[in-house]
Structure 1
Amino acid sequence: MAFKRKAIVVGAFALRLPIVAVAALRLHYLGIQIHSLNPTLHGVIAVILTEIQLQYSIISCLTCSIRPFISAVTTNYGATAINVEVYESVNGPGTKAYGAGTKAYGAGSKQRSQRSNRESYALSSASKRDKLLREATSNKMRTQTYSTGRAKNGTESIGQETVAKDSDDYAQAGPYVEAKYMGSIVDQREMSMLGRTQVLRRNFHFVSVLGFGCTLIGTWEFLLSLIQFGLTDGGTAGLIYGFIICVIGFTLVYLSISEMASMAPTSGGQYHWVSEFAPPAAQKYLSYISGYLVATGWQCSIAGTAFLSGTIIQGLVVLNDSTYVMERWHGTMIVIGVAIFCVLFNIFLAKRLPLVEALLLIIYIVGVFAIVIPLWVLAPRGDAHTVFTQFSNSGGWSTTGTAVMIGFSGTIASLAGFDCAVHMSEEIKNASETLPRAIMSGVAVNGVLGFLMVITLCFTLGDIENILATPTGYPFIQIFFNATQSYVATNIMTSIVIIVFTSAVISELATSSRQLWSFARDGGLPFSSYIAKVNHEMNIPLNAVLVSLVITILMSLINIGSNVALNAIESIIISAFMSSYMITIACVLWKRIKGEPLPARRFSLGRYGMAINIASLVFLLPLFFFSFFPLATPVTAKTMNWNSAMFGGVIVLATAYYWVWGRKQYTPPVALVKREQYEI
């Protein structure tokens, strides 16, 4: 059985894993019922859990029989079955079609066709045939004609091979990229328009990109792990209203990002867009700084998420063994282990990553219900009036409003980073259309799941002082234990969080390495020639992946000496992302204000574009400002938020490097763009 089929089977059966948690809770309460003096009353929870177990068992058993699920995760690895009837109508009788990117044999010529705009399996309906026919006849096809003489249409022979020299030729594949991984004809056209060569496999589709973004951002598990920020500054009311405000604000931000991704779907992302849209006098420098900010944010993000995974494991050990003493070097070794595992996954399972991401999306969605359902059933309920109206200012700030804004940091971290999919754009089929859909769908999915988790936590917290003082270091672990009063149930629920965090590290390594690789191929980094190399056997930027691993290990080692220093490095994540978004959106807004035409795109904000851009900047500016504030006062060296020093240091060092070496080596992406040759 092929690995793909095995993975689908494993994924379908993996949906049954949450039953283990429900079954464990059911057995626990059956034991209480058996020894109770009033078994009828104390058997209510056991009966409810029995019904949940039975109903969910039926649903999970039927999952593997659902055809839409199997079809959604089936990428077919780029193969396309083109209707022979349609193909012959374009190329003339006697030709045979074998799929996009395969060879078509005709009378005396051998042509390689790359004409499908998106996959289709059997274009039997008239509408699909008409659509393919229109696309095939309207697009100029890049051909390789094998002959012994001079061919037509501006091609000249080189030995036995003649190569087209039409000005509208599509993007060339790297020497080791198979034709089926070149993407659609639109992908090739856009790569050529952006001055890029296809060297990575395009095997991501909508579902896999959606899974990639949702699991990487991981809104609900980041809210769990960082809930202490919101409880200290803001309280339950601050958490709820802050989350709603952030979801609305980030929706506007990601609408702006999605539009730019449709204009230029490239792994460079922000620094490429700034290069195209910034005022000419500042294009090169602003693009360079944006590249450094994004690279800094993603590299620190890997270390931060791996650190959460490692220290949550330590917290679980503390819960189960009260004699265990948490040592910083223990956590560091676990962090390094998590990072190495994720790097090996990215290297040896890179070709399977799209399928894995689709399966992880299912685990991500099912996992949240495996956590909130036990909390709904077992945890004590908070008073609705208190939950929705009680603000907290435990940080000692002058006003509650200031405290609430500072407490946004945990919520921001759970929603920032949806540009991750953009950095994978050169591995996404039909990227300019798929990216905006996947980004906005991911915002919707994470927004709903995150809101569900926030409401559940705020109603089931119990004693806030008790959970904040937990010896595990993570209040959510204490919440789980207080609700279930079971080590087994708490271990299972926390393990789900660890699994989802680990999957986020896998995705972060992928997106950060692609961004690093893209910035290096434009000469933006020290040792760019080494980092920009692509391993042609695996079709991944292997050196960039290994550099990301080294950076993660070095940052995790800082924790051995001082967790304050590591926290200072990690605090830069929010400010780096927010500033990169602000610079990028400000540049496209500048073009709109000047009335200059924007590039053609398949996802457009239309007449609302300027308003959305302005609202995005109004939302981002205060978040950026308050990201430099410490959580509480009075401030000491240990409680100080060193983000301002770290952020300033990155800007100063990047600027110094730019003026000494970077400006001579860095090639701004706008210098490679050839839109005038392709846009009508």
Structure 2
Amino acid sequence: MSTFQKHANPEKIEEVITITRDNVDTSDERLLELGYKPEFRREMSLFGVLGISFCAIGILTGMSSAFQTGLFSGGPVGLFWGWNICSVFMFLIALSLAEICSSYPTLGGLYFWVCKMKPDLPILGFCTGWIYSIALVFTGTAGNLSVALYIASMVEVGQGRSLSRVEIAAMAWAVNITSGIVNTVGTKAIGRMSTLNVWWTLGGTFVLVITLLVKRPFTGWSSRGFVVLLGFLQAIYTLEGCETAAQVAEEARRAEILAPLAVVGSIAGSWFIGLAYMLALLFSVQSIASVQATTYAIPIAQLFYDAVGPKLTVLCLVVVAVGQVTASITAFTASSRLFYALARDNAFPAKEKFMALNRFQAPYWGVWMSVLIGCILSCAYIGSAIAFNAMLSSAAISVMLSYLQPIIIRVFWPDSLPERGPFHLGKWSWPINFVSFLFVYLHTFRVAHVVSVNEYDMNYAILAVGGVVVIVAINWVTWGRHSFVGPMQTVIEGK
């Protein structure tokens, strides 16, 4: 027997497992080198991993749910240019993240990358992991509420009856629980669902574009505004999520290649699919004032109604709602895997429970923790739609803050990634990381001044983001700094 020589801090090892190299799948080689014993079956193909990121981005759902934000603030022209300019920068960010993902294809994603690249500052990894996990749960919760809002809009369009906030919150609970059940079934179900989502997105975009362009009266773009920065808000909300492929890296074959390809490919595909859908929406707007004054639960329903009438509006809402369901399920897939990764490294309490897998290879404690938090947050909608929406908009800011950590390290410590994976940027690595850093930094802190539909949202958004940061900081001071010292290696290699 030969002891695995890559333990950076042997005294930190809590659980050591002896294994042999015999019959080890090539997909697990890098995971073994990183010190982790393979626990998940590798059942995801490229299409499945790519679908995970597509689900998380949710191009139809993100565009539909946040379209009115860019429309009201930046106008059609600002929204159009905001989308394209922002997509370029998000593609560069995806390249930056994909390069790191190829070196460290583990389900910890952003959290693990920060820990490995800056091991002398464990607080950075701890805070990145916690902020990102909270953002993922918030994202799933927002998606599940959006499903309820789409259903409520269908009821109002089809039957003329407006649902109460309590009824909408109850439907959000049902969708949260459904997300938990699907995630409990495990990797195969998620992989098949994410593959289906790719085709649904492509087919749904085609249906929506054709329906809107053929049936709507021609109007063109009425706004002459060129508020491109405000158009970024909708684009950022829509395009976040490409890194989710990393959360299933330990469940994918050839993850060191497939995961980074999925990260980059999901942004490239979403850019062009989103552009086609956006153009159809912009040319279909009959009256911005009508969309602003809508009584429907979600404003995009008014745009559909004005353009194509009640029957086709229901069809459009069904197409988007189904896509939203898969996107929301994927957010809880990612959060449960991140809880697993944090627990594995003593960065999350109740380690044994959150690392437990059921017979479907699902980390079910993390799944149902996400569902529980989602149900609690959904109740906020009953009291205040403004407070709830602002709180969930903080999820987008939290994701960008999580992106910022590994990119900062790559910019200011260029040698922090000594082991390059098969996907790497070569001489373009530092320039791409630097441009990505500038965009994330400037946009994240600029959002603190402009992200809002009205003057009241911003105060709530600052409070929500500040609350997340305070909670994570307190958790580090009172518990994390005593229990977390970095990634815990769980394997000894033998011959």
Could you say whether these structures have the same fold, taking a TM-score greater than 0.5 normalized by the shorter chain as the test?
yes
Verify: 1:492 aligned to 2:276, yes or no. no
Pairing 1:395-406 to 2, within 5 Å after superposition:
401=227, 404-406=228-230
Given candidates 269, 288, 294, the residue that maps to 1:445 is 269
Given candidates 546, 550, 563, the residue that maps to 2:372 is 550
Q: Name the counterpart of 1:615.
A: 435
Q: Is the 8 A contact 1:183 1:430 kept in 2?
A: no
Q: Bigger CA drift: 413-422 or 348-357?
A: 348-357
Q: Bigger CA drift: 656-665 or 345-354?
A: 345-354
Higher RCO (C-alpha under 8 Å, 6+ residues apart): 2
Verify: 1:483 aligned to 2:307, yes or no. yes
What amino acid is the match of 1:238? G
Q: Is the 8 A contact 1:193 1:673 kept in 2?
A: no
Q: Name the counterpart of 1:197.
A: 37
Q: Is the 8 A contact 1:569 1:646 kept in 2?
A: yes
CA 544–471 in structure 1, closer or farther in 2 if over 3 Å, else same: same
Pair member with larger Rg: 1
Q: Deviations over 1:22-49 (max 9, x none)?
A: xxxxxxxxxxxxxxxxxxxxxxxxxxxx
Corresponding residue SS for 1:326: coil
Verify: 1:668 aligned to 2:489, yes or no. no
CA 527–565 in structure 1, closer or farther in 2 if over 3 Å, else same: farther
Q: Is the 8 A contact 2:73 2:231 kept in 1?
A: yes
Q: Name the counterpart of 2:162.
A: 325
Q: Distance in 2 between matches of 1:228 and 1:480?
A: 12
Q: Name the counterpart of 2:280.
A: 456
What amino acid is the match of 1:559? Y
Given candidates 496, 505, 510, the residue that maps to 2:333 is 510
Given candidates 208, 224, 240, the residue that maps to 1:390 is 224
Q: Name the counterpart of 1:526.
A: 349
CA 433–556 in structure 1, closer or farther in 2 if over 3 Å, else same: same
Q: Name the counterpart of 2:252.
A: 428
Corresponding residue SS for 2:35: coil
CA 583–370 in structure 1, closer or farther in 2 if over 3 Å, else same: same
Q: Deviations over 1:459-512 (max 9, x none)?
A: 111111112212113332122222222x32221221111111011112111111
1:649 CA drift (Å): 1.9
Q: Distance in 1 between matches of 2:298 and 2:471?
A: 35
Given candidates 451, 462, 470, the residue that maps to 1:644 is 462
Pairing 1:598-609 to 2, within 5 Å after superposition:
598-609=418-429
Q: Deviations over 1:307-342 (max 9, x none)?
A: 1110111112122233x2331111111101111112
Q: Is the 8 A contact 1:253 1:616 kept in 2?
A: yes
Q: Distance in 2 between matches of 1:546 and 1:571?
A: 23
Pairing 1:288-367 to 2, within 5 Å after superposition:
288-322=126-160, 324-348=161-185, 350-367=187-204
Q: Deviations over 1:200-229 (max 9, x none)?
A: 121011011112211221123211221110
Q: Distance in 2 between matches of 1:363 and 1:633?
A: 30
What amino acid is the match of 1:264? Y
Pairing 1:258-277 to 2, within 5 Å after superposition:
258-277=98-117
What amino acid is the match of 1:314? A
Q: Is the 8 A contact 1:184 1:430 kept in 2?
A: no
Q: Is the 8 A contact 1:513 1:548 kept in 2?
A: yes
What amino acid is the match of 2:258? T
Q: Distance in 1 between matches of 2:264 and 2:37?
A: 28
Corresponding residue SS for 1:233: helix
Q: Name the counterpart of 1:626.
A: 446
CA 640–587 in structure 1, closer or farther in 2 if over 3 Å, else same: closer
CA 660–333 in structure 1, closer or farther in 2 if over 3 Å, else same: same
Q: Is the 8 A contact 1:628 1:642 kept in 2?
A: no
Q: Deviations over 1:114-153 (max 9, x none)?
A: xxxxxxxxxxxxxxxxxxxxxxxxxxxxxxxxxxxxxxxx
CA 450–183 in structure 1, closer or farther in 2 if over 3 Å, else same: farther
What amino acid is the match of 1:601? G
Pairing 1:48-87 to 2, within 5 Å after superposition:
none
Q: Name the counterpart of 2:9.
A: none
TM-score, normalised by the number of residues in structure 1: 0.67
Q: Distance in 2 between matches of 1:612 and 1:577?
A: 19
Identity of aligned residues (%): 25
CA 432–312 in structure 1, closer or farther in 2 if over 3 Å, else same: same
Q: Bigger CA drift: 304-313 or 523-532?
A: 523-532
Q: Distance in 1 between matches of 2:440 and 2:206?
A: 31
Q: Name the counterpart of 2:213.
A: 376
What amino acid is the match of 1:390? R
Verify: 1:572 aligned to 2:391, yes or no. no
1:576 CA drift (Å): 0.7
Corresponding residue SS for 2:449: coil
Q: Distance in 1 between matches of 2:302 and 2:469?
A: 40
What amino acid is the match of 1:524? A
Q: Is the 8 A contact 1:420 1:511 kept in 2?
A: yes
Q: Bigger CA drift: 238-247 or 626-635?
A: 626-635
Q: Is the 8 A contact 2:410 2:417 kept in 1?
A: no
Q: Distance in 1 between matches of 2:450 and 2:77?
A: 20
1:553 CA drift (Å): 0.7
TM-score, normalised by the number of residues in structure 2: 0.91
What amino acid is the match of 1:365? L
Q: Is the 8 A contact 2:102 2:422 kept in 1?
A: yes
Q: Is the 8 A contact 1:274 1:287 kept in 2?
A: yes
Q: Distance in 2 between matches of 1:208 and 1:598?
A: 29
Q: Is the 8 A contact 2:205 2:273 kept in 1?
A: yes
Q: Deviations over 1:556-596 (max 9, x none)?
A: 1122222233223202111111111111111122221xx56
Corresponding residue SS for 1:377: helix
Q: Deviations over 1:393-419 (max 9, x none)?
A: xxxxxxx75xx4244222211001111
Q: Deviations over 1:602-658 (max 9, x none)?
A: 11110000000000011112220132235569734xx44422222222222212221
Q: Bigger CA drift: 578-587 or 324-333?
A: 324-333
Q: Name the counterpart of 1:210.
A: 50
Corresponding residue SS for 1:539: coil
Q: Name the counterpart of 2:12.
A: none
Q: How many residues align?
A: 483
What amino acid is the match of 1:606? G
1:530 CA drift (Å): 2.4
CA 351–168 in structure 1, closer or farther in 2 if over 3 Å, else same: farther
Q: Distance in 1 between matches of 2:47 and 2:473?
A: 39
Corresponding residue SS for 1:642: helix
What amino acid is the match of 1:661? W
Corresponding residue SS for 1:266: coil
Corresponding residue SS for 1:470: coil
Q: Deviations over 1:170-207 (max 9, x none)?
A: xxxx99xxx99x9841x322111111111112101101
1:663 CA drift (Å): 1.4
Verify: 1:230 aligned to 2:70, yes or no. yes
